[in-house]
Structure 1
Amino acid sequence: MTDEEALCEAARNGDSDKVKSLIESGADVSYFDSDGLNPLMHAAKHGHAEVVKDLIDAGAPWNALSPSNHSAGDFAMEAGHQEAFDVLLNAALQAELILGTIARKGNANKISDDYLDDRVSFSEDKIMDAESKAVMMAWEKPLMEAHAKAVCSNGGHVLNVGFGMGLVDTAIHQYAPASHTIIEAHPEVYDRMKRQGWDKKDNVKIIFGRWQDVVSQLESYDGIFFDTYGEYYEDMREFHQYLPKLLKPGGIYSFFNGLCGGNPFFHVVYCQLVSLELGSMGYSTQLIPLPVKDCLSEEIWEGVKHKYWQLDTYYLPVCHSTNESD
């Protein structure tokens, strides 16, 4: 038995002393055994929180995935091992706050620009980009209606960043806000909006362009929704820096919470991360669980290259300022 195999066995058995000894002797903590699991996954799966911490401290990657697309955090979640889960979540948040290893990409703007330059195709239940990836899909309609209800709950002036299929804007319009501003960056989506008469609707103002380029044209709003395509967490994080100027005191902010929508643990990490980062800016975030099991059927995703959502619960974020004197 190699040191790495012994490390996996010791991690599975919760033998902390043996794990520490093997780590000190140079055993590779990122090794995957014949079952497709690394030592951290074994420890998490069996709820050995102390061993989980030892392995994390030794540099075991918290975000490594098994062949079945499970991370150590997923194994801890599924088995109900709260203490091991908490150790992994804390390690993940610390790493993401400093490094941003999952969803932050240095080429985000390039991908966004590529999408805006490409043609998109429209059908009754989806918009697809040139690579057959879904930009937006009809299964999101109940979620968009819930987002609209949240950002319109104060009445007043509402801003939506990203029109897409118009699901959230249709819902917002039904609440008859004092004004309804829509930012859309894709030229074909923008043309389709005009063909559908959005530029002639009461109290609707359309601003064409990337939000980064038109932010100076914006005012302040009672409700804001953010849902762009071809961007990453860093882009949304950048948008959040403008919230103190864009969101009125007492206003409501929400965003499409598709962060790492293909992995349960990574999704939890990003829900917590965005809540922490907004919290540091003086905003509290409530995450409202909504069941979305209907969207998991194969028929819905037929012809779509990438399933951007594979979880049975959607956590709808409702954010508001904690500073009453803003």
Structure 2
Amino acid sequence: MAAQPVTSVKDQSLDECVKEIILASSLHDLEKLEVYIDQHSFPDCKVVDVQDGETGHSPLHAAIASCRPAVNGSVAQDEGAKGEDVAATTVKFLLENGAIWNQVDHNDETPGCLAYRLGLFDLYQLMVDAGVRAEMLLSRLEEYGRLNDDESDDEDDGTEAEAEEEGETGENHEPETVDQTQTATVSTAQDVSSSFYLSSALALSNNKLLDDQQNGVMMAWESDIMRRSADALLSEPGMQILNIGFGMGIIDSYIQDHVNAPASHHIVEAHPAVLAEMRAKGWMEKRNVVVHSGKWQDVLPQLVAEGETFDAIYFDTFAESYSDFRDFFSEQVIGLLSQIGKWSFFNGMGADRQISYDVYQKVVEMDLFESGFDVEWDDVALPDLDQEWEGVRRKYWNVHSYRLPVCKFMD
């Protein structure tokens, strides 16, 4: 369809502007979109982030939805490809002008979710790449903020700490960050802090471990994942293995019962209730088990200082951020893993939706590479989990397969 003549938009109402922007996006009318970006502004969002009142579609949603296959499937393959190519140009234009990559519509779908559901995988990949760029930018801004904090602490020479002791508020040195709606889900408990979790009461049943807010800490459906993770790490008998995060003890039980039983099995666990359960079940008395009580941030540096090294390491904690995980492998694994050792982790980052899961796989790969690790992925099919969430506050897993990572030092 030919682009319509563009006139001034300054006299249009906000509702009229939103409708025209959404329509221009669906028609891939870049000329009209440029006019709105140049001539108009909204009080609470960018032009490229407006949302249709009825559907919640943003311009990105509209550009992708315009490639929706015909109901009767009569669209020719070359016509569909051509439409997707045109839409890709519009999607790139919107992203270049700052469109939020994972804004959700009234169906709780991001533009990438919509592309995935419609089978528009080239457009889906564009959205995944946009998510990776946004997450990497946030990561670097966070590192910049930490650096500024460290430098200001040195310069203050204790004066800020003294001010805090006196009840005064010190200067905030954190950088300005992009809109937080651009971040993917990081952990299975993104609104639960580590300190809150460690002070919460836990409820353990045969198939799940919940905190006192009914957040799933660990669930029995993860058992096959844990079994395959243990198999991937324990390649020969007599190894030394370290597991961070006991939880329900699923992977630790597989490690103990494995055909390649380890010579030494260290476990780091911080929650008092879990430690009490471990003690009651005799884990503290097992011949080859060493239990370290405390947070890994405190325990692992001490193990490094003592010269401990391991042939295999597994990591599965709760209520921690991606930056915590990055600190783990960039600062601690390097000092604890033998040069020919392997390590893995429970790969649940962003698992509430497919695009977030795909984004974090790429982000992790890039950060692992930067820290000197290779990673291989093994896809594990999952059963239907719909019945597993009864009594759990939030469904933290919503993708159809699990990607099991195995990491090692680069050759």
What TM-score do the two structures reach when normalised by structure 2? 0.74
Q: How does 1:243-262 map to 2 (within 5 A)?
A: 243-262=333-352
Give the equivalent residue in structure 2 for 1:153: 235
Q: How does 1:286-301 map to 2 (within 5 A)?
A: 286-295=376-385, 297=386, 299-301=387-389
Asked whether the equivalents of residues 185 and 352 of structure 2 are also in contact (C-alpha less than 8 Å), the reply is: no
Percent identity between matched residues is: 35
| Greater mean alpha carbon deviation, residues 20-29 or residues 136-145 | 20-29
1:96 Cα shift?
0.7
1:306 aligns with 2:394: yes
State how far apart, in whole Å, the 2-side matches of 1:256 and 1:75 are: 27
State how far apart, in whole Å, the 2-side matches of 1:16 and 1:293 are: 44
Matched letter for residue 234 of structure 1: S
1:136 partner SS: strand
Q: 1:236-283 CA distances to partner (integer Å, 9 max, x unpaired)?
A: 111012221111112111111111111110111011101110011121
1:108 Cα shift?
8.0
Give the equivalent residue in structure 2 for 1:281: 371
1:170 aligns with 2:253: yes
Tell which structure's C-alpha radius of gyration is larger: 2
1:208 aligns with 2:313: no
1:84 Cα shift?
2.3
Give the equivalent residue in structure 1 for 2:103: 64
1:93 aligns with 2:132: yes
Give the equivalent residue in structure 1 for 2:5: none
Q: 1:214-250 CA distances to partner (integer Å, 9 max, x unpaired)?
A: 1123221111110001212111111012221111112
Q: How does 1:192-231 map to 2 (within 5 A)?
A: 192-218=277-303, 219-231=308-320
Bigger relative CO (Cα 8 Å, ≥ 6 apart):
1
| Greater mean alpha carbon deviation, residues 76-85 or residues 237-246 | 76-85
Give the equivalent residue in structure 1 for 2:89: 50
Give the equivalent residue in structure 2 for 1:36: 56
State how far apart, in whole Å, the 1-side matches of 2:220 and 2:192 are: 27
State how far apart, in whole Å, the 2-side matches of 1:16 and 1:37 are: 18
Give the equivalent residue in structure 2 for 1:123: 205
Q: What do you get for the CA RMSD once the two structures are aligned? A: 2.1
State how far apart, in whole Å, the 2-side matches of 1:286 and 1:140 are: 20
Matched letter for residue 359 of structure 2: V
Asked whether the equivalents of residues 244 and 314 of structure 2 are also in contact (C-alpha less than 8 Å), the reply is: yes
State how far apart, in whole Å, the 1-side matches of 2:236 and 2:333 are: 17
Q: How does 1:76-91 map to 2 (within 5 A)?
A: 76-91=115-130
1:162 Cα shift?
0.2
1:76 Cα shift?
2.0
What TM-score do the two structures reach when normalised by structure 1? 0.92
1:93 partner SS: helix
| Greater mean alpha carbon deviation, residues 306-315 or residues 163-172 | 306-315
State how far apart, in whole Å, the 1-side matches of 2:51 and 2:251 are: 44
1:149 partner SS: helix
State how far apart, in whole Å, the 2-side matches of 1:104 and 1:167 are: 23
1:54 Cα shift?
0.7
Give the equivalent residue in structure 2 for 1:238: 327
Matched letter for residue 366 of structure 2: L
1:81 Cα shift?
2.7
State how far apart, in whole Å, the 1-side matches of 2:267 and 2:64 are: 45
Give the equivalent residue in structure 2 for 1:139: 221
Long gaps (5+) in structure 1: none
| Greater mean alpha carbon deviation, residues 10-19 or residues 52-61 | 10-19
Give the equivalent residue in structure 1 for 2:25: 11
Matched letter for residue 178 of structure 1: A
State how far apart, in whole Å, the 2-side matches of 1:49 and 1:255 are: 35
Asked whether the equivalents of residues 259 and 270 of structure 1 are also in contact (C-alpha less than 8 Å), the reply is: yes
Asked whether the equivalents of residues 293 and 311 of structure 1 are also in contact (C-alpha less than 8 Å), the reply is: no
Match of 1:184 among 266, 269, 282: 269
- Runs of 4 or more, structure 1, over 6 Å off, are 107-110
| Greater mean alpha carbon deviation, residues 74-83 or residues 185-194 | 74-83
Asked whether the equivalents of residues 109 and 231 of structure 1 are also in contact (C-alpha less than 8 Å), the reply is: no
Matched letter for residue 168 of structure 1: I
1:300 partner SS: helix
Give the equivalent residue in structure 2 for 1:21: 35
1:15 Cα shift?
2.6
Q: 1:29-70 CA distances to partner (integer Å, 9 max, x unpaired)?
A: 111112221001122333311111111111110021122221
Asked whether the equivalents of residues 185 and 356 of structure 2 are also in contact (C-alpha less than 8 Å), the reply is: no
1:188 partner SS: helix
State how far apart, in whole Å, the 1-side matches of 2:244 and 2:19 are: 51
Long gaps (5+) in structure 2: 1-14, 42-46, 68-83, 140-182
Asked whether the equivalents of residues 62 and 88 of structure 1 are also in contact (C-alpha less than 8 Å), the reply is: yes
Asked whether the equivalents of residues 19 and 51 of structure 1 are also in contact (C-alpha less than 8 Å), the reply is: no
1:166 Cα shift?
0.4
Q: Could you say if the C-alpha distance between residues 319 and 204 of structure 1 is closer, same or farther in structure 2, counting changes exceeding 3 Å? A: same
